[in-house]
Amino acid sequence: MANTITVNGQSHTVDIEEDMPLLWYLRDILQLTGTKYGCGAGLCGACTVHLDGRAIRACTTPVEMAFGKAVTTIEGLSEQGDHPLQKSWRQLSVPQCGYCQPGQLMSAAALLASKPSPSDQDIDSAMSANICRCGTYPRIRAAIHQAAEEQGE
């Protein structure tokens, strides 16, 4: 039986194995390659997407968990790349290698959606499960604060 998933505002009919990881559906079938494969165990955060607005790990989430729900990937955060987080990421030169950044941005977006004016502790807690091998954590925190200020204006 075919099911539907809304990805970045577009409805898709899904007729695949229900236990396929959502990450492979997004990358291999929909060709949305912004969401990255990192560890495959949900530990690094590179595969973070939103499922009905909540940050989840796409590598460990079976596609069936998204049936009838809305998925937002990094490609759907903002069509023009003008989300306050994307702008602050660029202005503060957050990425170094950039591999983890889609997941970082998606976790940060979920944080700001639930807590528009996060404290350093809120940011550290919300972002603690996203690993950046380059160690750009101070720039990530600064960019989240800057985006929060812009959203509040």
pLDDT tens sequence across 4-51: 999 999 999 998 999 999 999 999 999 999 999 999 999 999 999 999
Looking at residue 71, what is its pLDDT?
98
Q: Which three-class secondary structure state does DSSP give residue 20?
A: coil
Q: Are 127 and 107 a contacting pair, CB within 8 Å? A: yes
Average pLDDT over residues 69-87: 96
Q: Are 50 and 109 a contacting pair, CB within 8 Å? A: yes
Burial of 103 by CB count in 10 Å (0-12 exposed, 13-18 middle, 19+ buried)?
A: buried
Tokens of 118: 């996060």
DSSP-assigned letters across all residues of 55-82: EEETTTSBGGGGTTSEEE-HHHH-TTS-
Looking at residue 125, what is its pLDDT?
97
Four-residue CA torsion sign, 138, 123, 51, 17: positive
Domains of the chain listed by start with CATH number: 3-77 (3.10.20.30), 84-152 (1.10.150.120)
Strand partners, 85: none
Average pLDDT over residues 128-146: 96
pTM: 0.95
- H-state helical runs in the chain: 22-24, 74-77, 84-91, 101-114, 120-127, 137-152
